[in-house]
A and B are shown apart, each in its own frame.
Chain A
Amino acid sequence: MTQDPNARAEIEPTEVGANAAETGERQLRQPDADHDVTNDHELLPEDLDFATLVEHGHTASELDPDAPAVLTVDNLKMYFPVRSSGLVRRTIGHVQAVDGISFEVPKGGSLGLVGESGCGKSTTGRLITRLYKPTGGSMMFEGNDLAKLSNKEMKPLRRDVQMIFQDPYTSLNPRHTVGTIVGAPLEVHKIVPKDKVLPRVQELLEIVGLNPEHYNRYPNEFSGGQRQRIGIARALTLNPKVLVADEPVSALDVSIQAQVVNLLQDIQSEFDVAFLFIAHDLAIVRHFCPEIAVMYLGKIVEIGDRETIYGKPHHPYTQALLSAVPDVKQAAVGGRRERIRLEGDVPSPINPPSGCRFRTRCQFAQEICAKVEPPLLQIGKRHKVACHFAGELGAHPATPVTTQLLGVDDQGSPVPGATPTNTQLTIPGYEKTWYDLTTKQTTGA
């Protein structure tokens, strides 16, 4: 394998960009124990080993629709109390950071969580790793409800739910060597005897692409990308089943982002780890996550597979979010795309708007949006949206699509005698049947 990074750049068509959705069959084989990497290029294409595959670039992750859910989050809520100042600190309100979100993370798959700052993405990640105790809801993981466990009961499960942090400069203890940092989970959980910690640490450093001899260096001697690799190695130490990646690349240089995202993909396919990938970079989420949930002000407004969310988003917020992404192709042909500008700021999560939370900034908002909260309605095989006027960009319906389901008229007032026909329950996964927006009927596959 060549050691010259410049020579490698030519043969590695790394595509982190949004357009890397082409499919590629990946065959993974464990390298033999006495495997000589320098002979890789003479092997037949069928016999691709991992290192060669890495050289051939990373394609976007594929969705496995039948994968069972490893983590099921149902109606998760996190309210932070707001206390009055003064001697008696009464609770005068709650920051509704996460307000009833439901999703599933498939086994070995990845769910992307996007949204603007302060919408509750990171809080969700911290709830799943139980850095906070949720106010309500459930998080089912292997038959255990993570939301209800005490810290003591949680400890054995922490081996399976790990986290990669955003800032590689603060997530590593500056006073510990890399070996201590990566080996700490082994010591805490007493998995391997003390003399076996070092080989395991070196193995992990090798996996994340660091020199295993660097175990006795301090974090300040590494670059940002290398530090993030150390953080990934630490998260991998316990062989977790779920990894919460809280903006793992947003603090990194763009060229390093590609490396780290590729590394995460390698890890995912190698160890079958499920990812909850929190990010605000839509291109990286598109590359990494076959399934994406869009959050706004503590709620999921749209969730679906990659093609639906990026191809035909139905929620005005998703459309606005996507239109804000600069497009290189547009710049090349000189055309200018219509940008949807969102007016104003995100409303305060202490006192969110009534009805639909996005209505204060939504160009389609009508009276019904203030009166009735739109349910997260499944409108496609793998597509849910929470909007009264759900529709593709430029084709939003003039009348609310949810009136029949909710038993209200177009202004959102309850119709006397009408019974809500909504049979959909808000479940974390997808149902076999869905509500078709054009026919306004429940249809199936």
Chain B
Amino acid sequence: MSAETAGPETLGSLSSEPEQQDPNSQKAKEISGKSPLRIALGRLSRDKIAVVCAIVVLFFIICAVFAGTISKLFGVSLETGLASQYVDGLNNGLPKPTMGPPNGPFTWEHPMGVAPRTGEDNLAYWLHGCRISLMIATVATVVASIVGVIVGLLAGFLGGTVDKVLSFFIDMFLTIPFLLAALTLAPILNDRFALSDNYATIQKFSLICVLAMFGWMGTARLIRGEVLALREREFVQAARVMGMPTSRVLFKELLPNLAAPIIISVSLMLPSFVALEAGLAFLGIGVTDGVSWGQTILKAATPTYFREYPQYLWQPLLGIVALVLSLNLLGDAVRDALDPKTRR
């Protein structure tokens, strides 16, 4: 610290005339502190694995957001004309040699080939599958995190009966087997909305609900534990001494301190939901009426196709593995960056 600042610190002098200081002046900016999150961000940018993973995740996000534009750029679309134009019905429905691999050379008309039997363009389906996958996972993560954080905050801070009731619900939802519940819910929802006009939207919506409903408990438990520890810290008591309302204590005092666990739980929830979405689609209870990586895998996972046309299975599989892996590694790196105790 400079000699200038040593003066008032050691003196304890009293003056009723404060120096006016413009908060936007250059001097104020120079001495403004770094928040713990900014320090973590700086650390993250020095982590090579984190940077690579972030680039991969960014690539998938761009693919998802601009799926339509990229498809147009390559001149492919979800719409397929007559399937017989693309596939050879006599050869197990595999693509014709002019459509690229496996029977012909690479063609820019269909950079990733076409699907067997239906002749759908693989690139367009891959891009839109990425969009659906990321959208469902993101929305479900956001919903589950918000529910989890609020339940955890309330249970941890209020304690007593509220804590007991909320903890009971957390435990109850944890005991319900996820797959069984999802498998039960799917036919009910299908039956209920099968004749609806926007069946595809409802299906996605219900999938988000199912994922969020069984995903919030981990966050809630994590947050509850953190709040239990934070609640006894003196700054919370100081907030109460100054008469701060409970809602403000929760969201202005406690929530900023929970940024690290929330970011970590989000970064781990996101990849697990991506994988779950694909898994459910494969089981036929996720997105069945539309485009999805899981649906593509389901279609591709036959011995004939895998023997004759393995690229068809690898494409969505690679997408899922790359996305989930990089999201997980990124989440790990974020956790390391946020934890002041790790030094690498």
Contacts and interface: CB of A to CB of B under 8 A. Distances in A.
Interface of A: 1, 3-5, 8, 30-31, 33, 35, 37, 50-51, 54, 126, 129, 131, 154-155, 158-159, 161-163, 165-167, 170-177, 184-185, 188-189, 198-199, 202-203, 205-218, 220-221, 225-226, 231, 234, 237-238, 259, 262-263, 266, 270
Interface string B30-65: 011111100000000000000000000000000000
B234 interface: yes
A259 B234 contact: no
A175 B39 CA distance: 12
A131 B240 CA distance: 7
B5 interface: yes
Contacts of B11: 1, 8, 51, 54, 209
Contact of B256 (A54, A176, A238): A176
Contacts, number: 160
Given A30-B16, A202-B19, A216-B23, A175 B238 contact: no
A54 B18 CA distance: 18
Contacts of A189: 242-243
A161 B5 CA distance: 31
Interface of B: 3-21, 23, 27-28, 31-36, 233-235, 237-245, 248, 253, 256-257, 259
19 contacts: A3-B4, A31-B16, A50-B13, A131-B240, A158-B241, A158-B242, A170-B235, A172-B235, A173-B253, A174-B257, A188-B244, A202-B20, A206-B19, A207-B16, A208-B12, A211-B5, A212-B21, A226-B9, A266-B14
B19 A173 contact: no
Nearest to B33: A217
B18 A209 contact: no
The 4 A-B pairs with the shortest beta carbon distances in the complex, nearest first, are A217-B33, A175-B256, A171-B234, A158-B243
Contacts of A188: 242-245, 248
A54 B13 contact: yes
Contacts of A220: 36
A70 B319 CA distance: 72
A54 B12 contact: yes
* Interface SS majority for chain A: helix
B31 A203 contact: no
A165 B234 contact: yes
A1 B235 contact: no
Contacts of B15: 31, 50-51, 206-207
Given A175-B256, A216-B23, A218-B33, 5 more contacts: A174-B257, A175-B35, A176-B253, A207-B14, A209-B13
Contacts of B248: 188
B251 to A, nearest CB: 12
Given A209-B13, A213-B31, A3 B3 contact: yes
A206 B18 contact: yes
Contact of B8 (A8, A30, A210, A262): A210
A421 B32 CA distance: 69
The B interface, classified by DSSP as helix, strand, loop or mixed, is helix
Given A189-B243, A216-B32, A199 B238 contact: no
Centre residue among B31, B234, B253 by max chain A CB count within 10 A: B234
Contacts of B240: 131
B14 A51 contact: yes
Contact of A155 (B17, B36, B243): B243
B113 to A, nearest CB: 51
Contacts of B6: 3, 5
B12 A209 contact: yes
A208 B13 CA distance: 7
Contacts of B245: 188
B243 A213 contact: no
A173 B33 contact: no
B19 A1 contact: no
A218 B36 contact: yes
Contacts of B31: 213-214, 216-217
B160 to A, nearest CB: 11
A212 B18 CA distance: 7
Contacts of B17: 31, 33, 35, 206
B242 A162 contact: yes
A216 B15 CA distance: 21
A202 B18 contact: yes
Nearest to A203: B18
A171 B23 contact: no
A54 B7 CA distance: 13
Nearest to B37: A175
Nearest to A54: B13
B185 to A, nearest CB: 34
Nearest to B38: A218
Nearest to A181: B235
Contacts of A33: 17
A155 B178 CA distance: 47
Contacts of B32: 216-217
A239 B241 CA distance: 14
Most buried by A among B5, B7, B14, B243: B14
B9 A209 contact: yes
Contacts of A218: 33-36
Contacts of A54: 11-14
Contacts of A166: 234
B238 A216 contact: no
Nearest to B237: A131
A86 B271 CA distance: 41
Given A213-B27, A221-B33, A185 B242 contact: yes
B22 to A, nearest CB: 10
A175 B242 CA distance: 18
